[in-house]
Amino acid sequence: MPHFGRRLAALTAALTVSVTTGAISPAFADERQTDKEPTATGYGGAVSTVDPEASAAAIDVLRKGGNAVDAAVAAAATLGVTEPYSAGIGGGGYFVYYDAKSRKVSTIDGRETAPAGIRHDAFIDPATGKAYNFTPELVTSGVSVGVPGTPATWERALERWGSISLGDALKPAIKVADRGFVVDDTFRSQTKDNQVRFEAFTSTKDLYLPGGQLPEVGSVFKNHDLANTYRLLARKGMDAFYTGPLADEIAKTVQAPPKSPDTKLPVPVGSMTAKDLANYKALDQAPTHVNYRGYDVYGMAPSSSGGTTVGESLNILDVFDLPDLKKDKPAVLHHYLEASALAFADRAAYVGDPAFVKVPTKALTDPIFGKERACGLDPAHAATKPVAAGDVKSYDGTCPVDPAALPDEKDTENISTTNMTVSDKWGNVVEYTLTIEQTGGSGIVVPGRGFLLNNELTDFSTVYSATDPNRIEPGKRPRSSMSPTILLKDDKPFLALGSPGGSTIITTVLQTLVNRIDLGMSIPDAIAAPRAAQRNTAKVTAEPAFIDKYGAALTSRFGHEFTPSGDSFSSASEIGAATAIEFLKDGQVLAAAEPVRRGGGSAMVVKPAK
């Protein structure tokens, strides 16, 4: 259908029925953003997100003279309206920024933190003495909620690099929340996947299941409560989130979730207090850095494991001449899978919150350590998994004696989250990944405030161990896999990219880089290509399309075994949902998003190329 036809169909449906917070009303007649174009080339700044309303918000800010940071905050706030099951002010994330003037990359760690009162056995059911079932009990709970970091991240980013006020950055999102957005297949299916969890809470049921019904595709969903919450923050700043009545309400919601009287879910309560919120800080920190085939690759340092694991994988791959193998794609993919497994072994052994654990970030991103770890990559055969972690205390780039392997790492990090990439006419770049953890977060909406709380603390190891770098501790940030990444060539941007997807974020970013740099794909093709994720497990998790295309060759030639992707929280079998911007010659940029995954993404530029 032509673009005009698609828009007309969506608007016609939108004029038929409108879903608001607990009521049905006629839709507003003004145009809503429904078209999704996965690529755009042009000048003056660009954006790539999963949602056209968010991309349009960023472009509007850029056209009015705002910079990439202003536009990123505007887009993120809008995603809190249109992608509420993946992101919002009830969650956290990581913000990576390239400053064109100084040619430096900086980051903000806005990861959620554990409350001061959390216990080491917080995930153990006192009635049975055993760990809560991960789903749906632990993920649908107050005990899984971390102190949100997203509001503090927006405020800190605007303070450091922005050119407009928080109030101005929130205006597009307030407009979208009030006039509503058109419900698509993804929003409806995600609501359906979470229906039992959402029905467990009166506040969530009232907002997302008005009248007990799922939102219809083509209807208009409004969130006046969230619009009012944004207005409060616009007037009073983020202090109004972390102190005062709203902070008290968040803490109360965590300690005594608004359970529906007929729910059968246990909903373990949390210990978060208003003081925990008042004490939260978004952290300025240096990025990780490696050099890969002449590109400077910058990522997110711990508490994220993204920068170290992507960086280590690239250091391992840099030992091999993959561009020379690009005509033998299965061989290149074999190297990618094996390098990822080696880096994931070190991720499990060493990475946690550096405020609590001595993380060997320098060693993990050292090319000499990568060269030594490459000794564990046999170009002809897949290693038996799990492989062992490397020795970060003693390495010299020569091949060591193989140590004993570690047990499989249990992956509890969920596939949801969202990502955006933004650039402006001055050459500044933002790569920002934000999340409320699994699709739908904890399932708990703060009553009357219009946003879901995260269940990010499920990223801690479920069972406490004093030797585990990702063990539960008060005030600690759980290990993340978010991997917002910026590549420079001669100190100027070449590529920025990131993705949602839990621990497959790392593999999505890594595989996209291998596709683009080593296999010579265009960035749209590198994003669209079928994906596989090897996270140091006996079988490789892969999209069905990847198995169909490469599975036979990778199994017969190298010994890889595969299992189809998919998770217990949704019907999706997709891995990741990447966004990217590549910087071309003559000041042009190419923004790229997913053509199909998660319903397709939305790429826009300020001035399209002719």
Q: What is the DSSP string of 61-103?
A: HHHTT--HHHHHHHHHHHHHHHSTTT-STTSEEEEEEEETTTT
- What's the pLDDT tens digit per position in 482-499? 999 999 999 999 999 999
Going from N- to C-terminal start, the domains of the chain cover: 1-610
Please, which residues have CB within 8 angstroms of residue 53's CB and are 6 or more apart in sequence? 32, 33, 78, 81, 82, 176, 181
pLDDT for the residue numbered 400: 77
pLDDT for the residue numbered 17: 41
pLDDT for the residue numbered 270: 96
Q: Which helix (H) or strand (E) holds 48?
A: strand 39-49
Does 24 have pLDDT greater than 80?
no
386 cis-preceded (ω within 30 degrees of 0): yes
CB atoms within 10 A of CB 215: 19
- Ranking 203-212, 245-254, 396-405 by mean pLDDT, the lowest is 396-405
In angstroms, the CA 518 to CA 511 distance is: 10
**DSSP per residue, 235-300:** HH-THHHHSHHHHHHHHHHHHS--B-TT-----------HHHHHT---EEEPPEEEEETTEEEEEP
Strands 18-19 and 220-221: parallel
**CB 303, CB 480: distance < 8 Å:** yes
Query: What does DSSP assign to residue 565?
Result: -
> 500-530 burial, b for 16+ CB within 10 Å, e for fewer?
bbbbbbbbbbbbbbbbbbbbebebbebbbbb
Crossing angle between the packed helical segments 52-63 and 68-82, to the nearest 10 degrees = 150
> 250-282 burial, b for 16+ CB within 10 Å, e for fewer?
bbbbbbebbebeebebbbbebbbbbebbeebeb
Torsion of CA 76, 77, 80, 82, to 10 degrees: -90
In angstroms, the CA 48 to CA 420 distance is: 6
**Residue 417 bears catalytic tag:** yes
- What's the pLDDT tens digit per position in 346-365? 999 999 999 999 999 999 99
Where residue 32 falls among pLDDT bands split at 50, 70, 90? confident
- What's the pLDDT tens digit per position in 406-425? 444 444 444 568 999 999 99
**CB 339, CB 347: distance < 8 Å:** no
Does 4 have pLDDT greater than 60?
no
Q: Which residue, among 434, 411, 418, has the nearest Cα to 567 in the 3D structure?
A: 411
Question: Mean pLDDT over residues 149-155, rounded?
Answer: 98
- Ranking 27-41, 60-74, 207-221, 366-380 by mean pLDDT, the lowest is 27-41
Between these two residues, 100 and 17, which has the higher pLDDT value? 100
pLDDT for the residue numbered 463: 86
Residue type, 103: R
Q: Which helix (H) or strand (E) holds 497?
A: strand 492-498
> Which residues, listed in sequence order, are joined to residue 430 by a DSSP beta bridge?
97, 422
pLDDT for the residue numbered 7: 35
Q: Maximum distance among all alpha carbons in the chain?
A: 70
Please, which residues have CB within 8 angstroms of residue 262's CB and are 6 or more apart in sequence? none
- Ranking 122-126, 178-182, 376-380 by mean pLDDT, the lowest is 122-126
Instruction: Give me the percent of the chain exceeding a pLDDT of 90.
Output: 85
Instruction: Give me the percent of the chain exceeding a pLDDT of 70.
Output: 91
Where residue 77 falls among pLDDT bands split at 50, 70, 90? very high
In angstroms, the CA 55 to CA 47 distance is: 6
Separate counts of helices (H) and strands (E) for the chain: 20, 19
Backbone angles phi and psi of 20, in degrees to 5: -125, -170
Please, which residues have CB within 8 angstroms of residue 162's CB and are 6 or more apart in sequence? 66, 67, 69, 70, 73, 169
pTM score, whole prediction? 0.93
Output the CA–CA distances (angstroms, integers) from residue 228 to 84, 233, 242, 468, in the order listed.
Answer: 16, 9, 16, 42
pLDDT for the residue numbered 141: 96
Tokens 């703060």 correspond to 446
Please, which residues have CB within 8 angstroms of residue 275's CB and are 6 or more apart in sequence? 116
Active-site option among 21, 204, 273, 417: 417
Question: Mean pLDDT over residues 262-267, rounded?
Answer: 93
Where residue 602 falls among pLDDT bands split at 50, 70, 90? very high
Residue 104, classified by CB atoms within 10 Å of its CB into exposed (0-12), middle (13-18) or buried (19+), is middle
- What's the pLDDT tens digit per position in 551-573? 999 999 999 999 999 754 444 68
Does 11 have pLDDT greater than 90?
no
- 3-state class of 444 per DSSP? coil
Tokens 């998994």 correspond to 385
Q: Which helix (H) or strand (E) holds 562?
A: strand 562-564
pLDDT for the residue numbered 12: 40
Does 2 have pLDDT greater than 70?
no
